Amino acid sequence: MTGLLVVMPLLGAGLLVGVIVALFQAVTQIREMTLTFIPKILAVVAVLIWLLPWMISTMVAYTLEMFQWINPPAGY
């Protein structure tokens, strides 16, 4: 669930930009492969840069929780 939570914003950005570009291509009848590829990459990279601190802190918290589950502190 944590992996899905961390990756979902990137996938959502790619999906949203893909739908918008597909609608644009359908309206204008432009069929250019780079028109679908480049905006998706730029959107995913922008979201990655924007959410990277949150993604890292979420994964670090999950990793620390797993280490504590494997080797609980004394007193349990």
Average pLDDT on 9-25 reads 94
Q: Which pLDDT belongs to residue 57?
A: 97
Long-range CB pairs of 40-43 (<8 Å, 24+ gap) are 40/14, 43/13, 43/14, 43/16, 43/17
pTM of the model: 0.79
Q: Which pLDDT belongs to residue 71?
A: 82
The Cα 66–Cα 43 span in angstroms is: 32
| Residue 68, pLDDT above cutoff 70 | yes
Q: What is the pLDDT of residues 29-66, one digit of tens each?
A: 888 878 888 999 999 999 999 999 999 999 999 999 99
Beta-carbon contacts of 10 under 8 Å, excluding residues fewer than 6 positions away, are 44, 47, 48, 51
